[in-house]
Structure 1
Amino acid sequence: MDYKKLIPSRKFRLKLLKILDFLPDKLMIKLQYGISTGRSLNIKKPVRFTEKIQWYKLYYRKQLMVKCSDKYDVRDYVASKGYSDILVPLYGVYDRAEDIAFDKLPDQFVLKTTNGSHTNIICEDKSKLDIEATKEKLNQWLNAWEGKVGREWAYHEIKPKIICEKLLEKDQNNDLVDYKFFCFNGKPFSLYVIVERFLSGGLKLGIFDTSFRKLPYKRVDIPALEKDIKKPKNFDRMLEIAKALSSDFPHVRVDLYNIDGEIYFGELTFYNGSGYKGYVPDDFDYILGKEFQLPKKIK
């Protein structure tokens, strides 16, 4: 069941979750998993990847995950691993929208909150930007009640800020391909390749192994990538980066961009799809689950 189709208004969904905020994490996660997947959650002996993500939320709370979930603080972590060269140039970090000196920013940039998902403003031409509306939107995101949405504890401990980064150039197809590496204890296992995010047809997703061979699986909620995609330049270095940035965690998704061989860091994600997104065929959920060796609990 797609709960977003059932309740299309995000504002209403947040209100509903706020009402249910008092529920213990374990109970709420079981409810959300059941509604999203149509299955009962096996939290005592999880086997599926999606089940192990729920276990991860509940029982593995390593404080470093908070730093690495913060879109600003994670930059220090990436630099500490020796990869400051892949960080997207930063123009500023702000506590509130009123602190942004728009007149000092370049003509193109990206504004985003440090704790949010889909809280980005892409400016391709500053002369056409409604600055007051932008400030209002950013402050709404900063002050929005997120509560325990998804019960993804690492995000709940972030003090939200705004960052402004360089707008990465699109390729000759007016696209910016996203490479998302699924890593387990410092070992990249597979990756999503996401294309056509900015095109009218909407994004497409393909699943590949670490030799960049396309696998016969797809996400249930995203149209499959059908066309052939060439292995990016410096792909071996992308694997090296993913290995280094994932070495401190039982599981993390390492997101990178590659623009004609120039690699840029995107983010680190610990709870892919909040653990509620399945695959076709379904056995890929078990394949990923087998790779995800659960650690000792950290509460």
Structure 2
Amino acid sequence: MDYKKIIKNKELRFKILHSLKFVPDSLMLKLQYKMKMGRKLNWKDPKRWTEKLQWYKKNYRTPLMTQCADKLEVREYIKSKGLESILNKLYAVYDSADQFNLDILPQKFVIKTTNGSGTNILCKDKSQLHLDKVKQCLNDWMYRDNFSVGREWSYKDIVPKIIVEEYLEDKSNPFDGINDYKFICFNGKAKFIVLDVDRNIDHKRNIYDADWNFIDVSTDYPNFGDTVPMPEGLDEMLRVANILAADFPFVRVDLYWVNGTVYFGELTFYPWTGYVQFVPDEFDFILGGEFQLPIRKSIGGDL
């Protein structure tokens, strides 16, 4: 079922899911998995990565996950690992959009809300920024209930804030913007790398193993073949990813390699909300085979 064609407005879909917050996690995750993946969710003996991510949402919950999903508080976690040098420059922190002050900001910057994923605004020229529209967008994002949308527990107790960071540029990059390297890590070891390029124009996605061998797999975005050379900073990014992943059974570590330097992006515990169709489908099982489910660890049951 292509629910996005039935309910085209994204915010309306979120409101409907919020209204269903009373539905137990186990039932809602089964329903969403069936709707989005077109098959039943195997709770008892999950084999697929996408199935195990649903188990992870429901059964593995620690305060450290909440800290690391928070785009502001994660900075302290990074510092505690001795990796402060990979943090992007932080210009401002706001409790509400009404506090936003363009006068103190440089010409270019990136705005993010701390309590979600994909809630970013890239500003290349602040003189062209429609501030009223930006504030409205930020208010919508800050008060969006990201937990009830996909039962992504790590977002549940984040105190929403707005942060403004440095705008990173790589003028040598043949693609638009900067390359986004997503390290798929199991028990502190990066096993696969997802490369996203041209995110703002013609989004494409490649998948590699940790030795930068191309894997011919597509997701909701097409791959573009074995055409990208191994980045000079691969070894350093792998080192950083493994350090940041060490405390978790599974996490995706997002990094950038810009002008000879590693920069931190985010830590994600439920990539793509755990709903992604791989072509070929076998890759879902390959990832699932790497994900050794931990002993159930939860600070609460169904919420």
Return 5+ residue gaps in structure 2 as ranges.
299-303
Residue 38 of structure 1 deviates from its aligned partner by 0.6
* Alpha carbons 2:216, 2:225 under 8 Å: kept: no
Deviation string, structure 1 residues 116-174 (Cα, Å, up to 9, x no partner): 22221111111111222222221222223445110011101111100000011133333
CA contact (8 A) 2:196 2:206 kept: yes
Question: Partner amino acid for 1:240?
Answer: R
Report what 2:12 is aligned to: 12
Secondary structure of 2:215's aligned partner: coil
Q: How far did residue 101 of structure 1 move?
A: 2.1
Q: Secondary structure at the match of 2:4?
A: helix
Q: Distance in 1 between matches of 2:2 and 2:244?
A: 32
- Within 5 Å, give how 1:45-194 maps onto structure 2: 45-146=45-146, 148-172=148-172, 173=174, 174-194=176-196
SS of the counterpart of 1:218?
A: coil
CA distance in 1, matches of 2:4, 2:89: 34
Aligned residues: 296
Write the letter of the residue equivalent to 1:115. Answer: N
1:99–1:80 distance in 2 versus 1, CA, 3 Å: same
SS in 1 for 2:167: coil
- SS in structure 2 opposite 1:12? helix
Q: Which runs of 4+ in 1 moved over 2 A?
A: 1-7, 143-147, 170-175
Distance in 2 separating the partners of 1:50 and 1:6: 24
Q: Please tell me whether the aligned partners of residues 81 and 245 of structure 1 are also in contact (alpha carbons under 8 angstroms).
A: yes
Cross-structure match for 1:229: 228
Distance in 2, matches of 1:262 and 1:93, equals 24
Aligned-pair distance for 1:6? 3.5
Within the alignment, does 1:260 sit opposite 2:259 as a pair?
Answer: yes
Tell me if the contact between 1:232 and 1:260 (Cα under 8 Å) persists in the aligned partners: no
**Which one is further off, 7-16 or 23-32?**
7-16
TM-score (normalizing by structure 2): 0.94
- Deviation, structure 1 residue 4: 2.3
What is the match of residue 27 of structure 1?
27
* Code of the aligned partner of 2:46: P
| Whole-angstrom CA distance in 2 between matches of 1:77 and 1:282 | 35
TM-score by length of 1: 0.95
- Distance, in Å, in 2 between the alignment partners of 1:279 and 1:147 is 25
Q: In structure 2, do the counterparts of structure 1 residues 256 and 226 end up closer, same or farther at CA, with 3 Å as the change threshold?
A: same
Q: CA deviation at 1:103?
A: 0.3
Contact 2:113–2:120 (CA under 8 A) maintained in structure 1: yes
C-alpha deviation, 1:3, in angstroms: 2.8
Task: Please report how far the alpha carbon of residue 233 of structure 1 lies from its aligned counterpart in structure 2 after TM superposition.
Answer: 1.3
Residues in 2 aligned to 1:10 and 1:67: alpha-carbon distance in whole angstroms: 27
Match for 1:152: what amino acid?
Answer: E
Amino acid of the structure 2 residue aligned with 1:188: A
RMSD (Å), alpha carbons = 1.3
Q: Which moved more, 1:204-213 or 1:9-18?
A: 9-18
In 1: Cα distance, 2:18 partner to 2:60 partner: 24
Q: 1:63 to 1:147 in 2, by over 3 A?
A: closer
AA matched with 2:192: S
Rounded Cα–Cα distance in structure 1 between residues aligned with 2:178 and 2:134? 23
Aligned partners of 1:171 and 1:259 also within 8 Å: no
| 1:93-113 CA-partner distances (Å, limit 9, x unpaired) | 110012222101001101110
Amino acid at match of 1:111: I
CA distance in 2: counterparts of 1:150 and 1:144, whole angstroms:
12
After superposition, the Cα gap between the structure-2 partners of 1:295 and 1:147, relative to the gap in structure 1 and judged at 3 Å, is: closer
Q: 1:57–1:153: 8 Å Cα contact kept in structure 2?
A: yes
Contact 2:214 2:226 in 1 (8 A): no
The percentage of counterpart residues that share the same residue type is: 49
